[in-house]
């Protein structure tokens, strides 16, 4: 055994290993690109003043504002530039803020994920309907089956919200619900 029988002897090596690996878990590379930061700063300066950019209603309803529009636009500008470079970069597409630069649809950041989360929600709802129809109310485990079903429904609702618009709060709700 590497650490022997005493758990305290294992604590220091494990803590040092975990601390050493923290540098490997840095922010997304795209966030740190100088050209991305410059693009966002220039866009905000040019468009986010009093007579700034007009944001479509479907985006405003999902709380897109001028700075977030600049961030989104610059993600795609930088990615397009990196893809168009001759010779192309070895890894031309980077993540920004922990996410790939997908194109929005009706203001949704990840429409495919929203769609598949909806399908999972509907499958859970259908399953709960079958439980209500086929398992008698007197069955002692029925309430637990339905309780787990409600947890599943909540998880898929939070997933749809998170993939529609990523905020710190929606991310935490999604991850918390996924852990249920």
Chain segment 130-143, per-residue pLDDT in tens: 999 999 999 999 99
Q: Higher-confidence residue: 83 or 18? A: 83
| Residue 78 near residue 32 (C-beta atoms within 8 A) | no
Q: Residue 84: CB partners within 8 Å, gap ≥ 6?
A: none
At 37 the pLDDT is 96
Q: Band the pLDDT of 16: cuts 50, 70, 90.
A: low
DSSP-assigned beta bridge partners for residue 105: 108
Mean pLDDT, the chain, integer = 87
Q: Residue 142: CB partners within 8 Å, gap ≥ 6?
A: 131, 135, 136
- Locate 1 and state its tokens: 């055994």
CA distances from 148 to 114, 136, 141, 144, 180 (A): 21, 17, 11, 6, 9
At 48 the pLDDT is 92
DSSP-assigned beta bridge partners for residue 99: 96
Q: Band the pLDDT of 42: cuts 50, 70, 90.
A: very high
SS3 sequence, 19-87?
HHHHHHHCCCHHHHCHHHHHHHHHHHHHHCCCCCCCCCHHHHHCCCCHHHHHHHHHHHHHHHHHHHCCC
Residue 115 has pLDDT above 80, yes or no: yes
At 89 the pLDDT is 73
Residue 44 has pLDDT above 80, yes or no: yes
Burial class (CB in 10 A: 0-12, 13-18, 19+), 56: exposed
pLDDT tens digits, one per residue of 51-109: 877 889 999 999 999 999 999 999 999 999 988 887 777 778 899 988 899 999 999 99
Helix (H, G, I), strand (E, B) or coil at 89: coil
At 92 the pLDDT is 80
What percentage of residues in the chain have a pLDDT greater than 90?
64
């Amino acid at each position: 055994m590497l650490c022997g029988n005493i758990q305290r002897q294992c604590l220091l090596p494990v803590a040092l290993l975990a601390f050493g690996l923290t540098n490997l878990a840095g922010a997304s590379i795209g966030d740190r690109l100088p050209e991305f930061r410059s693009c966002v700063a220039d866009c905000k300066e040019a468009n986010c003043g009093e007579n700034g950019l007009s944001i479509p209603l479907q985006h405003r309803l999902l709380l897109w504002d001028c700075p977030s529009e600049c961030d989104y636009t610059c993600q795609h500008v930088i990615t397009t530039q990196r893809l168009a470079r001759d010779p192309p970069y070895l890894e031309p597409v980077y993540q920004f803020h922990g996410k790939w630069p997908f194109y929005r649809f009706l203001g949704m950041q990840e429409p495919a994920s929203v769609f598949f989360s909806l399908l999972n929600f509907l499958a859970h709802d259908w399953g709960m309907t079958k439980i209500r129809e086929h398992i008698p109310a007197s069955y002692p485990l029925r309430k637990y089956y339905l309780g787990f079903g409600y947890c599943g429904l909540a998880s898929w609702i939070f997933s749809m919200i998170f993939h529609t618009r990523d905020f710190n709060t929606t991310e935490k709700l999604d991850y918390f619900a996924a852990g249920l």
